């Protein structure tokens, strides 16, 4: 697919796929990521996120691959076109304003589509997929989705410099352009 330039003259990211996600119905958070495709779900998701995942309109989810290794914070700063070391609350607000965050039911739908059409850019093996979600208090987190025989869902703080993400990582961003 196309390589895109964000903030610098070299290609920092490539859009490796786009998925059209149809409208999704309201769904309880406890019932997300529990079907036969999933083997693990961090219990913190049920406590941290809103009790219900809202009904959502159709959207396009871009699958974006970074061309470099960095922390989640720094990659997010580049996605959002903000300066390095931006205040955490400002960065979260920018993710929210740009519309990059998804609901769990939208993310579940993206995984179902990827299972049927693996060519859409989602890491199916040897890599991880991340998506932004909003918790019940309005804070932004990253959901980590990885797949061995089945999918697992975990959660990461957006402002986390303890993990490095690179070319084997994919970011699923709603409304990314």
> Residue 147: phi, psi to the nearest 5?
-135, 125
- Here the tokens at position 141 are 């987190």
Q: What is the mean pLDDT of residues 87-110?
A: 92
Residue 67: predicted pLDDT:
84
Which residues span the domain enclosing 78? 3-174
Confidence grade of residue 128 (pLDDT, cut at 50, 70, 90): confident
Whether 97 shows a pLDDT value over 70: the answer reads yes
Q: How many domains does the chain have?
A: 1
| 6 neighbors 12 (Cβ within 8 angstroms) | yes
pTM of the complete model beyond 0.75: yes
Report which of residues 5 and 131 the model is more confident about: 131
Whether 44 shows a pLDDT value over 50: the answer reads yes
């Amino acid at each position: 697919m196309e390589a895109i330039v964000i903030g610098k003259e070299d290609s920092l990211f490539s859009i490796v796929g786009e998925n059209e996600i149809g409208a999704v119905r309201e769904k309880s958070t406890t019932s997300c990521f529990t079907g036969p495709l999933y083997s693990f779900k961090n219990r913190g998701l049920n406590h941290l996120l809103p009790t219900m995942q809202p009904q959502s309109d159709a959207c396009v989810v871009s699958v974006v691959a970074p061309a470099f290794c960095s922390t989640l914070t720094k990659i997010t700063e580049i996605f959002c076109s903000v300066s390095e070391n931006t205040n955490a609350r400002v960065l979260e607000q920018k993710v929210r304003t740009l519309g990059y965050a998804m609901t769990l039911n939208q993310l579940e739908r993206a995984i179902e589509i990827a299972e049927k059409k693996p060519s859409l850019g989602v890491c199916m093996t040897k890599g991880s997929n991340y998506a932004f979600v909003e918790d019940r208090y309005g804070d932004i987190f990253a959901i980590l989705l990885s797949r061995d025989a089945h999918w697992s869902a975990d959660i990461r703080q957006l402002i986390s410099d303890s993990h490095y993400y690179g070319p084997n990582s994919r970011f699923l961003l709603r409304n990314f352009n």
